[in-house]
Structure 1
Amino acid sequence: MNKVFTLNVLERKLFLFLVDIIIVFLYLYLMTNRVLRGTFDYEKHGLTIYIVGIILFSMIAYVLDIYNLERASKPITIFRLSLVVGVLYSFSVFFLTVLLINTTVSRPYLMVFLALMPFSLTAWRLLCSNFFISQPFLKNTIFIYEEAFKKEIKEHIKSIEGIKNSNGYNVKLNISTDNEVFKKNPKRLDKINERIETVIIRIKNYQNIPEEVERFLTKAMYFGKEVFTFTSFYESTYEALPLNLLGNNFYEVLHLKNTKSHYIQKIFTLIIDFLLCFIVGSVFVVAVPIVCFFNLFLNKGPLFYTQKRVGKKGKEFTIYKFRSMVVDAEKAGAKMATSNDARITTFGKTLRKFRIDELPQIISVIRGDMSFIGPRPERKVFVDQLDQMNPFYSVRHVIKPGITGWAQVKYKYGENLDDSIKKLEYDLYYIKNRSVTLDIRILFKTITTVLFSRGV
């Protein structure tokens, strides 16, 4: 029997957000009607407070990444995030209101407002984390695969099961296309069809799907089930392109478009680069004397270091950073930095932790060699090795490299060539799906990455 409804990832995030907004609205109502009193004019200022309050909450929530469903499912993370968001939001709204509107404050109600807002968010999200993994809201899923992919599919199923509360899939069954059930047990197939909402197929050549499997898939579609390839499933679930699955279909899946026709994207990129050049440039100017001072005692040697990196169209350019390693760190040859690299100085660790060492890259953006958002530029010695490992690596060079990017905010610190290939999946996803919306997501996630020292 089919479920009444299930929730996909976007619907889950929207559901979380809508209830968050309801909680915010109720507390704004409490504040305007109980906390503030005296000269406060509800009819004049009420709507403004609601609009500003909801926008402010949305910004704080997005910057702190509380709609990351995988993180939002862990109790300790829920508690920390809800507490931070609630406290930050409560005080922000209160002080903005008091500063902008000449009014007096009811202290008892104020204490209730400041205390209950974080508590309410925490309680709601703890309830929601269990709500999302309850069976009625997960999509019962079946994997159909060729025998050659059995090991690969089982590894992915294990990964899916680990985050099913965030991706919405509950794998009920996995069947090889050679399984006798397709030929000899149509009644069992009908029962399977009744129990599932999603079918994911992993076959090398979709032109050669066995007739019995084809009939099962067609019947599933007749009854409104989701049926899609594993490549499509991987891209939508992980927001990355599965390099090892593409093979000869790479350019068909990547589907590169004419970037010259993306006028809105180009204008947005120019605006972002201009604005951030001014903002980050100002921070850079302030940081130079401070970093220089500490360098004299904790990181003796040149203030900056330069390197040649590969940029758009495969052309090399010079990149600038604050030096965070010992002098002559690569005397023995080029080597990728690791998170606990012995070559990094004590002060250099601080620079890297807060991404201060990246600030001089603003020079490359001003010169037009880089943009703020794009694939991370790499050295030619590593690019040549990565090209040998994967022939699609140089596709990254169709756009300008960036200070931040999709791979930087989605994947851990890259410490070796294998990590670089894994990050390529995210870079290619960005190139394929590049948009204003995705760029905005990257900018917000970059703020979160810096605040919580995640990613690269």
Structure 2
Amino acid sequence: MPKLSILNSIERKFILLIVDLAIIVASLNLFINHAIDDEFISFELKVFVFVFGISTYLGLSYILDFYNLERTGRKRHVLSQSVYITGIFVFLVFVFTIITYDVSFWRIPLLYFLILTPLEVWLWRLFFTNVFSIIPTVKKVLYIYDENNLDNLRENIGYINGDGVSTFYKVKLTYAIKEDQSNLDKQTFHDAIDKIDTWILNVQDYSDISKELETLLLDSILKGKEVLTYTSFYESVYEAMPIRSHYHSFYELLQLKNKKIRYLQVIFSFMVNFILSLFVGIVFFLVCPLVWFFNIFLNRGPLFYTQLRVGQYGKEFKVYKFRSMVVDAEKNGAKMASKNDNRITPFGKILRTFRIDELPQIVSVLKGNMTFIGPRPERKIFVDQLDAISPFYSIRHLYKPGITGWAQVKYKYGEDLQDSIRKLEYDLYYIKNKSVTLDLRIIFKTITTVLFSRGV
């Protein structure tokens, strides 16, 4: 199958976005130039309503995960998701225009805008789903690995084929690199190359690849095949680092050597911490009396609890939270909290659902021990255990811990040490790719988590 016939997830998202935007732009044009009475239309109104409309649509799409291809591919979700998101969009544009400008409307064009926009988006997405259920979208993979990594073969293939996400890759053939590669069957490899779309290499030392195999690999590139390392594949698809593949060095994994200082990132981080400290501080002081009041009747005991956590450079500090568990929660020793932990009180579940219990951490931020975005701080007893499991764990202490972070918004609630190791993959991805854009994504995803009780 020619490579050009296969569209990857980025290409499909781009097609979906372009047509969606075309529909949204056409709808905004109908609203601005036909639904609003001519005598009220001005250049300023056109610009502001149009910019607000596009920004609102993009913001809603991101926060409500409108371009999740797994959901888009399920026909039963297409109608509800399209109507729900575009319905909110047209309503917000309509309300914004009324509040901002003193205008009147022509009823028929206004109804077209309010009703036809969700309908058009739904019909387009239904067509998109049907078309891509026919067009092949999965790339056939030839997986190259070291013979001595046979124990991890099944796990690594599982991640390529998809572990909880649609990767759009499928391992069809595997080849183990051995010490003796003199009997390499070139004809078999040539036949295999014609049947696959992508090479994924997971080897410890690329100098172990024989000249014959290297020639076949280069030959494959010239034929338009895709060649990826396992690390780059994993980072791109899962937005995390594959620390359990064991085939990377400290510098290769994080690229910390000679890392440039990004001044824009420093300024942005300062502004985020300043603005959110002010906002969260106000919310904390407003909420505190209410939590105290309900705590008397529904969660008797201390209002707050403090705990030592490991912060930047491995130094311990006190973290503050509203108490959500029973008073003697750790009488039998330290234990990680789980999502349905029976130590959590009924009122504590409400606090955790809406992340209210996290608000007192603003104290740690003001003290300079924490920031808003960063790896989640852990207790020393668990840090020591995790250090013994993974040599990479302490790398997350290069930065100040955060109230929210990439691991918190990307992975489920961590209930054991293995979940903590999996979250480490996301923490290391954040450390390696720390940027203004990634921080903004975390902020938006955190808003979604709080509003819709998603994630951790």
TM-score by length of 2: 0.91
- What is the CA deviation profile of residues 327-368 of structure 1, one whole-angstrom value per residue up to 9, with x for unaligned ones? 121121111111111110101001101111111111111111
2:251–2:257 contact (8 Å) kept in structure 1: no
Task: Tell me how far apart the structure 1 counterparts of residues 24 and 248 of structure 2 sit (CA, whole Å).
Answer: 50
**Alignment match, 2:116:** 116
SS in 2 for 1:334: coil
In structure 2, C-alpha distance between the alignment counterparts of 1:44 and 1:387, rounded to whole Å: 58
Q: 1:362 to 1:128 in 2, by over 3 A?
A: farther
Measured in 2, the distance between the counterparts of 1:166 and 1:120 equals: 27
Larger deviation, residues 197-206 vs 52-61? 197-206
Contact 1:182/1:213 (<8 A) preserved: no
Deviation at 1:156, TM superposition (A): 4.1
Contact 2:377 2:401 in 1 (8 A): yes
| Alpha-carbon offset, residue 247 of structure 1 | 4.8
Q: 1:264 — aligned with what? A: 264
Which residue of the partner structure matches residue 251 of structure 2? 251
Change (3 A) 1:403 1:27: same
In structure 2, relative to structure 1, the CA distance for the partners of 1:138 and 1:436 (3 Å cut) is: same
Structure 2 distance, partners of 1:312, 1:78, is 45
SS, match of residue 70 in structure 1: helix
Is the CA contact 2:204–2:247 (under 8 Å) kept in the aligned structure 1? no
Indicate conservation of the 8 Å contact 1:32/1:42, yes or no: no
Greater mean deviation of Cα atoms: 441-450 or 43-52? 43-52
Verify the 8 A CA contact 2:161 2:167 in the aligned structure 1. no
Give the aligned partner of residue 277 of structure 1: 277
Q: Contact 1:370–1:402 at 8 Å: present in 2 too?
A: yes
Q: Distance in 2 between matches of 1:58 and 1:218?
A: 41
| Distance in 2 separating the partners of 1:100 and 1:153 | 60
Equivalent residue, structure 1, for 2:218: 218
Aligned to 1:193: 193
Instruction: Show the counterpart of 2:299.
Output: 299
Q: Assess, with a 3 A threshold, how the Cα gap between structure 1 residues 130 and 394 changes in structure 2: closer, same or farther.
A: farther
Question: What is the RMSD of the two structures over their aligned residues, measured on CA atoms?
Answer: 2.6
Deviations 1:85-110 (A, max 9, x none): 11111100011112223222233443
Q: Which runs of 5+ in 2 are unaligned?
A: none
8 Å Cα contact 2:144/2:175 also seen in 1 = yes
Q: CA deviation at 1:284?
A: 1.1
1:309–1:378 CA contact under 8 A, matched in 2: yes
Per the TM alignment, residue 154 of structure 1 is displaced from its structure 2 partner at its CA by 3.9
Equivalent position of 1:356 in the other structure: 356
More off after superposition, 408-417 vs 21-30: 21-30
> How far apart, in 2, do the equivalents of 1:133 and 1:94 lie?
36
Residue by residue, what CA displacement relative to the aligned partner does 1:107-134 show, whole Å, maximum 9, x if unpaired? 3443332233233333333433454454
C-alpha distance in 1 between matches for 2:67 and 2:370: 30
2:311 corresponds in structure 1 to 311
For 1:15, the equivalent position in structure 2 comes to 15
After superposition, residues 373-388 of structure 1 pair within 5 angstroms as 373-388=373-388
Q: What one-letter code is carried by the residue in structure 2 that aligns with 1:393?
A: Y
Structure 1: how far apart are the matches of 2:177 and 2:309? 47
Measured in 2, the distance between the counterparts of 1:231 and 1:219 equals 22
Cα distance in 1 for partners of 2:348, 2:455 equals 17
Structure-to-structure mapping, 1:331-342, within 5 angstroms: 331-342=331-342
State the one-letter code of the partner of 1:54: I
Report if aligned partners of 2:409, 2:446 keep a CA contact under 8 Å in 1: yes
> Quick check: 147-156 or 110-119, which moved more?
147-156
> Distance between the aligned counterparts of 2:330 and 2:80, measured in 1?
41
Q: Is the 8 A contact 2:139 2:170 kept in 1?
A: yes
Structure 1: 5+ residue runs without aligned partners? none
- The total of aligned residue pairs comes to 455
* Matches for 1:113-192 after TM superposition, within 5 Å: 113-132=113-132, 134-150=134-150, 152-162=152-162, 166-177=166-177, 186-192=186-192
Read off the aligned partner of 1:237 and give its amino acid letter.
Answer: V
The match for 1:40 is 40
The residue identity in structure 2 corresponding to 1:336 is: M
Given the two structures, how large is their TM-score scaled by the length of structure 1? 0.91
Q: Which amino acid aligns with 1:120?
A: E
* CA distance 1:152–1:133, shift in 2 (3 Å): farther
Judging changes above 3 Å, is the alpha-carbon distance between structure 1 residues 112 and 285 closer, same or farther for their aligned structure 2 residues?
A: same
2: CA distance between counterparts of 1:15 and 1:186? 39
In structure 2, how many angstroms separate the alpha carbons of the residues matched to 1:191 and 1:12? 29
Q: Which moved more, 1:340-349 or 1:9-18?
A: 9-18
Distance in 2, Cα, partners of 1:80 & 1:153: 40
